Structure 1
């Protein structure tokens, strides 16, 4: 499915970038540790600081998807940041606890696997406080970067709105059945014909409208959008999908009575067994036409 691929690739590419950044930093920090120990006249094998650094990086990478999900679930906007900042501060404490306990556990396991015993000179309260003072900065750095790229992505992607009625004139479209949507992208407004929408996918509090290879989020529920669109043109394929039958190319049956709908943009959309007869009928009508 086109949207599904985008949803999977974006986090994967983001995780790859952060993995490269954090691993490179870990190697550099480990080398610095060895050089500092050499200047102090101490014999420190590279394997030890590598375990210290990689245990930290591993826990960060394991927890990043949860942090990103939280940023998407509770975004910081101009009208919400004051209310949600305490939530983020509390989350930073929880994130640090998971990071530190997991990191220490990995260090003990790595040392034991090599026949050594890992000894931490600091007590647990001191260790937790010391690590939190570092983690809180890292936490809010990740949060700030995630919010920046989310904002930048929304600016590039654009956002769809129902046309508002002018103050001193009749509505441009019938309120019940809009013929066009207003799309804002990079500071410019565009009118998108309803018939140009290829399909729509539910995404939380939004519905992504697919138009000529681009997704435009519309703040609406799928049920509310379905009521506003022509039922002869837009058919529900699945709980989270609404399809413009004019852009339907073929139907691929699957085991269990379900199917994949192949769209003219290359997208593949799941179709439930209950909705499949409607699409077979729509495809037959298109063929007859």
Structure 2
């Protein structure tokens, strides 16, 4: 499988992906809060408001920003991973996204007011909320726009990564004539990446990990998402080569290096590429049995 500069860049980016994403949100929220605080102070100064303390706009904005960073954004990331929007499901899931904006805003506003109250007390002042229902509605109208922006940003980022890394598709049955290979248990998968198509043998899959509505297939150092459930994928892989080790993991038994028993009957599996895979107590006997069967099959007759 040939590599491209884009693939090489993505592989170099992968170890830094988590820290880069965290830094992005920190910068986005920090710059936005600083800009809003400055404009609020400038507007108050231009209007001749002497009652506004210089620190108040910073408390307002950064109390809001902290709640977005520490609570709301992680929750939205989790929610969008568990129920991602796609062209074939957006009509069903969009109402749930709209409904989720209500608790998102409620958590944001109440936590934000709590932080402001604490900050004002520490600074020797008192934070006053004139009308809680009015404030909740006012903040919801702002939060709904921010929430929609965050959802679009997360989905756009994931869509871009999938397109750059490549998405796997199952080979469909031809319109005419019998298929060249079994559709129920395909020998190859179609990978589409950067406008190009190429085939990957299923036997080249080293391990697979569930990720929301996708399963990431690890093939020769690359991860390719396939839109399928783990249960459906398990039925399409050769049971003599692949074994379910966890509700979120399937491994190719030939790439298993060692089994490290853990407390509670669970285990940690060391794969040939260095990946450590959890093995639950439920599936561990099956893994050991498959290893034993494989060793017996390898013995000379």
Q: Is the TM value for this pair above 0.5? A: yes
Alignment equivalent of 1:88, drawn from 66, 87, 97: 97
How far the C-alpha of 1:211 sits from its partner, in A, is: 0.7
Give, in whole Å, the separation in 1 of the partners of 2:15 and 2:297.
32
Give, in whole Å, the separation in 2 of the partners of 1:190 and 1:93.
44
Change (3 A) 1:28 1:203: closer
How far the C-alpha of 1:258 sits from its partner, in A, is: 3.4
Q: Does 1:111 align with 2:111?
A: no
User: 1:68 aligns to what?
Assistant: 77
Indicate if the aligned counterparts of 1:30 and 1:46 stay in contact, CA closer than 8 A. Answer: no
Change (3 A) 1:32 1:205: closer
Secondary structure of the structure 2 residue equivalent to 1:198: strand
Give the alignment's Cα RMSD to 1 decimal.
Answer: 3.1
Alignment equivalent of 1:202, drawn from 182, 207, 210: 210
Aligned pairs (5 A) from 1:111-260: 111-120=120-129, 122-260=130-268
User: 2:23 aligns to what?
Assistant: 16
How far the C-alpha of 1:7 sits from its partner, in A, is: 10
Give, in whole Å, the separation in 2 of the partners of 1:286 and 1:24.
62
1:8-35 residue CA offsets vs partner (Å, 9 max, x unmatched): 9756643331122212222233233334
Change (3 A) 1:197 1:32: same
Alignment equivalent of 2:292, drawn from 258, 277, 281: 281
User: For this pair of structures, how many residues does the alignment match?
Assistant: 283
Change (3 A) 1:225 1:85: closer
Indicate if the aligned counterparts of 1:238 and 1:275 stay in contact, CA closer than 8 A. Answer: no
Change (3 A) 1:220 1:32: closer
Higher mean alpha-carbon deviation, 6-15 vs 258-267, is at 6-15
Give, in whole Å, the separation in 2 of the partners of 1:77 and 1:276.
35
1:222-278 residue CA offsets vs partner (Å, 9 max, x unmatched): 333333322222122233322112222333343444332222222111234424523
Secondary structure of the structure 2 residue equivalent to 1:96: helix
Change (3 A) 1:84 1:228: closer
Secondary structure of the structure 2 residue equivalent to 1:26: helix
Gaps of 5+ in 2: 1-12
How far the C-alpha of 1:206 sits from its partner, in A, is: 3.3
TM-score, with length taken from structure 2: 0.80
Change (3 A) 1:202 1:77: closer
